[in-house]
Amino acid sequence: MSKPAIVTADPWQRLQALTRARIALGRSGASLPTREVLRFGTAHAQARDAVHQALDVAALQADLENAGFASLAVHSQAADRSVYLRRPDWGRSLAPESTRLLREDAPTLWAPRPRLALVLADGLSSLATDSHGLHMLQALLPYFPDLRSQPVIVASQARVALGDEIGHLLGAEQVVMMIGERPGLSSPDSLGLYLTAGPRPGLTDAQRNCISNVRPEGLGYQDAARKLAFLIAGALKLGRTGVDLKDDSDTAAPLPAPSGLHSSLARL
């Protein structure tokens, strides 16, 4: 007589191929199999590490420079990671020295009133920003060939709304905040893209558009760039972002060829 299996398989196991969610894990008696307990512990540790890991600003700026992007580094009012996690409000405002930096140094690097300001921010996962930020900028280049002439700001201890103050100080017509999202147990490196027209302090999330889960295992760079370019063009026509600007990029007519889109965004 054969011995019963130590692990009882789940009849839904074939669905695992369709999602990274933890489904159909099987069981051992009344508990999860040991391998799944260990996998969960590893994923939880990776998520915690992503939250607490500091962004290597110098390395990111060096990579940006090598790719032809000039950048400035700024910091929120949260002095360190511990303060950042306990005081979300401080992550939404610039430190005084960063405000001075943008006022004094930005005009020497970029033309006044740029069409688009780009912010690479650590958020709740510096791993996401470090892994995907530059790739996203490069994916946008076919749509905006002059993207390297626009301001790129690297922001530490940042929340989404920090981009509003940065864009306002730069006089930008639109700001794109590329920020590490809250890690999940299957996605410690998910990048979020937040587009805001007319950035200024005091805006709410209802006045911006979000593209979420940007990473090779989620929404790929090329698809994210296409959606973002569609929203940027839509915001120019509509004059605003947020709840009135819909992402119909998957059902609308294809975007114009890059040169055509570039012409329609004359100053970008």
Binding residues for adenosylcob(III)alamin: 160, 181, 210
Number of C-alpha atoms within 13 angstroms, CB side, residue 182?
A: 1
CB 181 within 8 A of CB 192: yes
CB 197 within 8 A of CB 241: yes
Q: Rounded to an integer, what distance in angstroms lies between the CA atom of residue 107 and that of residue 95?
A: 19
- Judged by phi (left if over 0) then psi (alpha if -120 to 50, else beta), residue 146 lies in alpha
- Using DSSP bridges, classify how beta strands 116-121 and 152-156 pair: parallel, antiparallel or unpaired: parallel
Annotated binding site, which residues?
Answer: 160, 181, 210
Sequence letter at residue 122: D
Q: Rounded to an integer, what distance in angstroms lies between the CA atom of residue 238 and that of residue 256?
A: 18
Task: Say whether 82 sits in a helix, a strand or coil.
Answer: helix
